[in-house]
Amino acid sequence: MSVEHAPSPGEAPSAAELERRLRAEASGVHGWSNGPGDRYGEHEHSYRKVLYCVRGSIGFLLSDGKRIELRPGDRLVIPPGTRHGALVGPEGCTCIEGQG
């Protein structure tokens, strides 16, 4: 699993720029959003998931107890078969993702 954080919270690229970047490396690109405190139970994917946080925040919880926090402009790559869950931050979140 790898994460790349935006230079600083106020310097996140625009949603259009993040989508352009994602489309250059992934297929099946789509967006989604969740309200504050929403949860995703532990699960895994059969593909490499590439995700950008566009708005708000979301924390990914790995099966080994590690937690990865994403804010606008941050990029996360989840290898196939990696067990993880997620908890949406207090302001909700909007993300885009694809298979890369």
Q: Looking at residue 47, what is its pLDDT?
A: 97
- Give pLDDT tens digits for 18-55: 999 999 999 999 999 999 999 999 999 999 999 999 99
**CA dist 17 → 12, 14, 45, 73 (Å):** 10, 5, 26, 10
Q: How deeply is 53 buried, as exposed, middle or buried, from its count of CB atoms within 10 A (0-12, 13-18, 19+)?
A: buried
Domain architecture of the chain: domains with CATH:
2-6+31-99 (2.60.120.10)
Task: Please state whether the predicted TM-score (pTM) of the whole model is above 0.85.
Answer: yes
Region of residue 54 (phi > 0: left; psi between -120 and 50: alpha; otherwise: beta): alpha
Find the mean pLDDT for residues 66-85.
96
